[in-house]
């Protein structure tokens, strides 16, 4: 079986600026990849390149063996790229339920299954997107991406600005999603400590290149790596 996501020598950026000089990365089913790095190292650019909203200068991207390199973002979504951007991009003038049914594709992730995972969304199913709290909007953004029944789920700083209790709920849900099978996840996160318990693999970027790629457990055991690349030694010393 081919890797769910295979990026080969991808060169991408914006306008004339190359942010990712030559990115190669593969992900298999069931893998949760934490994408770490300081601000401006290319994390969001990599996510955006997989989605198809950057300028590609070279290289290829394949999804489950299908070459999606030249596909438009909407075609990539239908092919199996689920995306939860930092801005969430929910439809504010649609209800919770309409947000999900508007994009739903056949598969195991139904609106009802999303409600099972996020009971709060079921309670708010008739509320409009602009009536939700930040945490509820993030749950909806994740739920909407799931109803596409993606092969790859991309999350760009999904816990940013949320209360700790909501963060715990979201991380538990993300663990459930991955264990359900048939999917892999890439999660961009500023706070390494939040994500190391969920991810099984960690990639650290610097200047658009991979400078560290290892199992999450190895990174937990070697806090010097986090200190070197992220400057977070104190967070892992205890």
pLDDT one digit per residue (tens) for the chain, 238 residues: 458 999 999 999 999 999 999 999 999 998 999 999 999 999 999 999 999 999 999 999 999 999 999 999 999 999 999 999 999 999 999 999 999 999 999 999 999 999 999 999 999 999 999 999 999 999 999 999 999 999 999 999 999 989 999 999 999 898 888 878 789 999 998 878 888 889 999 999 999 999 999 999 998 888 888 889 888 654 433 2
Q: Which of 100, 95, 173 lies closest to 141, judged by CA? A: 100
Structurally, the chain folds into a number of domains equal to 1
- Quick check: 26 and 7 in contact, CB under 8 A? yes
Position 238 in a domain: no
Q: With respect to residue 41, please indicate whether it lies within any of the assigned structural domains.
A: yes
Report yes or no on 50 lying in a domain: yes
Residue 138 lies in a domain: yes
- Residue 226 in any domain: the answer is yes
Question: Which residue in the block uniquely carries the two structure tokens 């190359």?
Answer: 18
Within a domain: 203: yes
Is the pTM higher than 0.85? The answer reads yes
Q: Residue 132 is part of which domain span?
A: 5-232
Residue 86 lies in a domain: yes
Cα–Cα distance between 68 and 74 in angstroms, integer? Answer: 11
* CATH number of the domain residue 18 falls in: 3.40.50.300
56: helix, coil or strand?
strand
65: in domain:
yes
- What distance, in Å, lies between the first and last C-alpha atoms of the chain? 41
């Amino acid at each position: 079986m081919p890797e769910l996501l295979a990026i080969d020598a991808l060169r991408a950026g914006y306008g004339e600026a190359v942010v990712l000089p030559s990115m190669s990365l593969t992900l298999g089913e069931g893998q949760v990849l934490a994408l770490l790095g300081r601000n401006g190292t290319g994390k969001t650019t990599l996510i955006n390149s997989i989605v198809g909203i950057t300028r590609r200068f070279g290289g290829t991207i394949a999804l489950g063996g299908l070459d999606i390199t030249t596909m438009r973002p909407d075609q990539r979504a239908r092919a199996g790229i689920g995306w939860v951007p930092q801005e969430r991009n929910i439809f504010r003038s649609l209800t919770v339920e309409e947000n999900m049914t508007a994009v739903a594709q056949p598969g195991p992730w139904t609106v009802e299954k999303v409600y099972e995972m996020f009971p709060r969304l079921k309670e708010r199913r008739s509320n409009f997107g602009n009536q939700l709290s930040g945490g509820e909007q993030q749950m909806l953004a994740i739920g909407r991406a799931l109803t596409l029944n993606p092969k790859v789920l991309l999350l760009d700083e999904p816990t940013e600005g949320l209360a700790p209790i909501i963060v715990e709920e979201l991380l538990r849900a993300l663990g459930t999603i991955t264990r359900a099978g048939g999917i892999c996840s890439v999660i961009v996160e500023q706070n390494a400590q939040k994500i190391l318990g969920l991810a099984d693999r960690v990639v650290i970027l610097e200047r658009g290149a991979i400078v560290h790629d290892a199992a999450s457990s190895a990174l937990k055991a070697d806090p010097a790596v986090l200190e070197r690349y992220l400057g977070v030694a104190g967070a892992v010393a205890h």
